[in-house]
Amino acid sequence: MRIVLQRVSRSKITVDNNVIGSIQKGVLLLVGVHHDDTAEKASWLANKCADLRIFNDSNGKMNLSLKDIDGEALVVSQFTLFGDCRKGRRPSFIEAASPQKGEELYLHFIKQLKKQICKVETGIFGAMMEVELVNDGPVTLLLEQ
């Protein structure tokens, strides 16, 4: 599983001109599922996202987690995170999970994150979405398990 985590001051997802998810201070999580991923990996990453100390404390140090600040999360499925561009000019997606497995683990990840974070919004699995964000910092991290 691969996640691009972006610390945001706000973010939203639009599908067919309708806002389907929006958050204020927190994280935008682009989630890609590998064909070998498991529920255990998804749970581990959900915990990591909730506990990662990437928000500033009163001294300006990154010492606070999403849980510590009562932050929000916006989770977007992103199979293209497993696009392999090493050969040719068209990405290969053979490392990405099948749509069925990808959706199952994506939903498991969200369920685990919701156990720790008060507000978790999501995109629509497999849909064409427009994602807007205001990156805070900017802080962008790549998490893998």
Instruction: Give the domain CATH number at 121.
Output: 3.50.80.10
Mean pLDDT throughout 74-98? 96
Residue 15 near residue 124 (C-beta atoms within 8 A): yes
What is residue 44's predicted lDDT score, i.e. its pLDDT?
A: 98
Confidence of residue 81 (pLDDT cuts 50, 70, 90): very high
Confidence of residue 115 (pLDDT cuts 50, 70, 90): very high
Tally of domains in the chain = 1
Range of the domain at 137: 2-144
What is residue 128's predicted lDDT score, i.e. its pLDDT?
A: 94
Its pTM surpasses 0.85: yes
Share of the chain above pLDDT 70, in %: 100
Confidence of residue 25 (pLDDT cuts 50, 70, 90): very high
What is residue 103's predicted lDDT score, i.e. its pLDDT?
A: 97
Q: How many residues does the chain have?
A: 145
Phi-psi region of 141 (alpha: psi -120 to 50; beta: other; left: phi over 0): beta
Residues involved in catalysis:
80
- Which residues, in sequence order, are CB contacts of 143 under 8 Å at separation 6+? 2, 3, 4, 5, 45, 48, 49, 52
